[in-house]
C-alpha cells in the first residue's frame, strides 16, 4: 500500500472545511466527518471526510492493526481515529452514556500543513482529489445549536471530595489525586457547529471532533497525552493552573512558575509519566527535556513538562502502560484510581480519557480529553477538575474548576 497525495489550495480554515465535510457526509449518508485541529502530526489540521466510528471491544489493540505503507515525510495519509474513555480504567465499573471506546478507519484525509496548504492524502482509496478541490471553493454552511446554562453540582460536594482527598494524602495513602466534577445540560443542533466555533474562537492546541449514531465528542484540549513517531515517544503532562488576565501577563506567569503547590503537582506527575514510559521504553532512554514551561490555554495559564523515550514495544503496549493519563489521575496511579472511584459520585465518561489518531504513515498522537463536551441525545456534559495535593484549599480548587469551564460555558451559551 502506498500514500498518494495532491496539494489542493490554501485560504480555508479548519472550522470552515470541517463544516463542509460534515454537510457532505450527512448528504451522502456514508459515515461521518471527523477531525483534529491545532497541532497534530506537525500539521494544523487532519480531517477525515467520511469514517465509520464504532464501539470496539479491544480498544488498545486497534492502533496496531495497520497495513504496511511506504512512509512519506510530512504525510498522514489516513488511519484509525477515535477515543478511549476514562471508564475503561474506572475500578468501580461505572459507565457514562457514551461507549467506552470508539475507533474508525479513514482511508483518506484532508491535511492542512504548517504553511497553510490543504492536501488530499489517500491510502489506496477510491476517492479522488477532484471532489475536494471543488469542495474547498464552496461557501461554508452555517449550522447552529441551542443550549442553556449547564447545571453544576453544589460547591460543597466538590469541597467534601477535596477535603477527603487531602486527608488521604496526609495519611500517606498517596501524593496527589485529580478530583473532578461533571456539569450537564440540554443541547439541540449541530455538534460540528459547536466544534467549529470553538476551534475558531478558543484556538486549542489539541482539538478533536468525533460523531456517530452513538453520540458526539467535541474536545478543545490543550494537552498532549502521547505522541509516537517511529520509536520515539513523547508525553506532555499539564499540571498547575492560574486564570489568565491577558496575553502579556508576565507577573501571573511568574507567579505560577513559583507556586509551590502547582510546581509540586507538575513535578509529581512528570515523575509518574517517567515511570509509565519507563515500562515500555529502552533502559536509559527516558528523559525530561523540558520541565515546568508556562503555556496559555483558553481562560488559564498552565504548567507543562515533556517526557520522552525510545519505545521498545507496540502501541498497544504503550497504551497499556500509560493509560489513563497520569495528569488526570494522580500518584501513585492505582491508589488514585481507587480514591477517585470512592469520591466522585458520577462516572467520568470520555472526560480524562484520550482522543486522536493512529496512522501507519505518521505514527500515533492522542490528546488528554479535557475541556471536552460529550453529547448524547439531547444532553451535553462537561467534566472539570484539578490536581489535589496536601496543601490544596477546597474553595480555591472549586474556583479552578470554574476558571477552566468558563470559556467553554461562554462558547456553549453565547
Catalytic residues: 223, 239
Q: What angle do CA 132, 133, 136 make, to 5 degrees?
A: 80
**Which residues make beta-bridge pairs with 388?**
177
Question: What b/e sequence results for 323-332 when a residue is b if at least 16 CB atoms lie within 10 Å of its CB, and e otherwise?
Answer: bbbbbbbbbb
The answer to whether 323 touches 279, Cβ cutoff 8 Å, is no
Q: Which residues contact 207 (CB under 8 A, 6 or more apart)?
A: 36, 37, 38, 195, 198, 199, 219, 220, 221
- Verify cis geometry, omega within 30 degrees of 0, for the bond prior to 324: yes
Backbone dihedral angles phi then psi of residue 133, each to the nearest 5 degrees: -60, -45
Q: Which residues contact 161 (CB under 8 A, 6 or more apart)?
A: 179, 343, 344
Q: Which residues contact 407 (CB under 8 A, 6 or more apart)?
A: 202, 298, 299
**What is the distance between the alpha carbons of residues 356 and 368, in angstroms, rounded to a whole number?**
9
Q: CA Rg, the chain, in Å? A: 20
**What is the distance between the alpha carbons of residues 412 and 399, in angstroms, rounded to a whole number?**
19
Amino acid at each position: 500500500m502506498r500514500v498518494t497525495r495532491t496539494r489542493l489550495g490554501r485560504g480555508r480554515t479548519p472550522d470552515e472545511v470541517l463544516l463542509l465535510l460534515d454537510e457532505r457526509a450527512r448528504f451522502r449518508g456514508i459515515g461521518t466527518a471527523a477531525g483534529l485541529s491545532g497541532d497534530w502530526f506537525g500539521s494544523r489540521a487532519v480531517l477525515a471526510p467520511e469514517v465509520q466510528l464504532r464501539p470496539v471491544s479491544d480498544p488498545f489493540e486497534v492502533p496496531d492493526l495497520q497495513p504496511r505503507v511506504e512512509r512519506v515525510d510530512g504525510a498522514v495519509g489516513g488511519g484509525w481515529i477515535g477515543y478511549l474513555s476514562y471508564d475503561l480504567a474506572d475500578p468501580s465499573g461505572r459507565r457514562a452514556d457514551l461507549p467506552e471506546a470508539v475507533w474508525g478507519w479513514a482511508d483518506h484525509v484532508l491535511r492542512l500543513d504548517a504553511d497553510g496548504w490543504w492536501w488530499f492524502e489517500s491510502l489506496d482509496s477510491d476517492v479522488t482529489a477532484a471532489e475536494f478541490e471543488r469542495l474547498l471553493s464552496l461557501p461554508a454552511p452555517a449550522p447552529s445549536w441551542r443550549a442553556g446554562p449547564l447545571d453544576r453540582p453544589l460547591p460543597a460536594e466538590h469541597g467534601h471530595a477535596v477535603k477527603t482527598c487531602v486527608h488521604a494524602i496526609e495519611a500517606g495513602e498517596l501524593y496527589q489525586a485529580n478530583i473532578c466534577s461533571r456539569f450537564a445540560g440540554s443541547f439541540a443542533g449541530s455538534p460540528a457547529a459547536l466544534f467549529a466555533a470553538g476551534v475558531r474562537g478558543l484556538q486549542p492546541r489539541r482539538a478533536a471532533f468525533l460523531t456517530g449514531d452513538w453520540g458526539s465528542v467535541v474536545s478543545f484540549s490543550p494537552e498532549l497525552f502521547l505522541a509516537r513517531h517511529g520509536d520515539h515517544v513523547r508525553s506532555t503532562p499539564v499540571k498547575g493552573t492560574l486564570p489568565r488576565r491577558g496575553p502579556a501577563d508576565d507577573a501571573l506567569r511568574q507567579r505560577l512558575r513559583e507556586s509551590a503547590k502547582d510546581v509540586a503537582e507538575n513535578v509529581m506527575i512528570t515523575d509518574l509519566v517517567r515511570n509509565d514510559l519507563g515500562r515500555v521504553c529502552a533502559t536509559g532512554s527516558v528523559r525530561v527535556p523540558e520541565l515546568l514551561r508556562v503555556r496559555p490555554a483558553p481562560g488559564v495559564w498552565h504548567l507543562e513538562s515533556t517526557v520522552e523515550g525510545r519505545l521498545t514495544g507496540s502501541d498497544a503496549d504503550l497504551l497499556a502502560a500509560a493509560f489513563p493519563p497520569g495528569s488526570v489521575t494522580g500518584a501513585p496511579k492505582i491508589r488514585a484510581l481507587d480514591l477517585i472511584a470512592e469520591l466522585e459520585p458520577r462516572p467520568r465518561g470520555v472526560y480524562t480519557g484520550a482522543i486522536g489518531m493512529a496512522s501507519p504513515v505518521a505514527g500515533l498522537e492522542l490528546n488528554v480529553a479535557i475541556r471536552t463536551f460529550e453529547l448524547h441525545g439531547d444532553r451535553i456534559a462537561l467534566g472539570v477538575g484539578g490536581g489535589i495535593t496536601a496543601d490544596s484549599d477546597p474553595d480555591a480548587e472549586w474556583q479552578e474548576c470554574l476558571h477552566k469551564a468558563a470559556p467553554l460555558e461562554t462558547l456553549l451559551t453565547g
